[in-house]
Amino acid sequence: MIRSELFIQSCGNVKFDELMSAHTYYRIGGPAAVYAAPDGSKELAAVVEVCKENNIPYYILGRGSNILVSDRGFDGCVIDMTESFRDIAAEGNLIAAGAGSLLSAVAKEAAENSLTGFEELAGIPGTVGGALVMNAGCYGKEISSLVLSADILSEGKIVKIEKNDIGFGYRHSGLKGRIVTGAVFALEKGDPEAIGSKMAEYSALRRSKQPLNYPSCGSVFKRPQEGFAGKFIEDAGLKGKTIGSAMVSDLHAGFIINTGTATAQDVLSLIKLIKVTVKEKFGVELNEEVIYLGFSDEELK
């Protein structure tokens, strides 16, 4: 049993048995034993230290846009980085942003300072920290192409890592398993009107192609080496397929949406069905982009 007083002493903003459905884009998820929103790096370090000293698992949460939390919840500590760590500042062609900053907010700051390069990422519903850990990308642009350096929490201190020492890959980075607190991005000077027009164009494209009127985690699967996950799922005849209230979107088959009262088990069952069906029909192995929290290894088999 987790001792609540340990966390009350280390963090001013802490809750217990907090439903994760209130903190994920899916609107799905049982309670986290501890939900802490540290006010700055000192409290962040203290919360992490409590977890490590007491063998309590912890998870760093951004906006919860690419996560599926078990219906049972998470028997550990969820650390919310969006309450703090969201300062954004531009200087010259550089933008410094906290890990809890929304990508849309960084894109807005860039546009206001006539800086181009971030337009494609403006519509990704996530934070700087999460985007760096998974090397998020959209419309041919990955965040790794813009980052200059990242700050992480290491042994209670904030340490800077240069881009060349991070190690980026497709939907992966060497920051996985580390606690990112912020980053610096190098952009280029551009025409304000052209930047605004480009952002509007990508925003309209996203609205027309993605089921934004339903809760989802975005793209469920990574792009396979050949073709696109959504196309394979559609060709497998699974567009519109439902399990419980979870449904393969009939607008974009790469999305599984919550049509109302979907459970985590509904979504997981649909993911498994998709993987098996696509494998049987096309010999293609689909791998998840969505992150699972609170599930056992046995449940994910």
Question: 137-138 and 94-98: which strand pairing?
Answer: unpaired
d(CA 3, CA 53): 12
One of 43, 219, 234, 288 is an active-site residue; which one?
A: 219
- Provide the token pair at 233: 């799922």
**Sign of the alpha-carbon torsion through 89, 94, 100, 104:** positive
Active-site residue, 219 included: yes
Looking at the chain, the number of H-run helices and the number of E-run strands are: 8, 21
Are 110 and 195 in contact by the 8 Å Cβ rule? The answer is: yes
Count the Cβ atoms, other than its own, within 10 Å of residue 194: 12
Give me the half-sphere count of Cα atoms (radius 13 Å) on the Cβ side of residue 293.
29
Are 123 and 202 in contact by the 8 Å Cβ rule? The answer is: yes
Active-site residue, 289 included: yes
Q: Which of 216, 215, 147, 224 is nearest to 187 (CA)?
A: 147
Active-site residue, 298 included: no
One of 72, 171, 206, 223 is an active-site residue; which one?
A: 171
One of 119, 234, 288, 289 is an active-site residue; which one?
A: 289
Residues annotated as catalytic (active site), given as ranges:
171, 219, 289
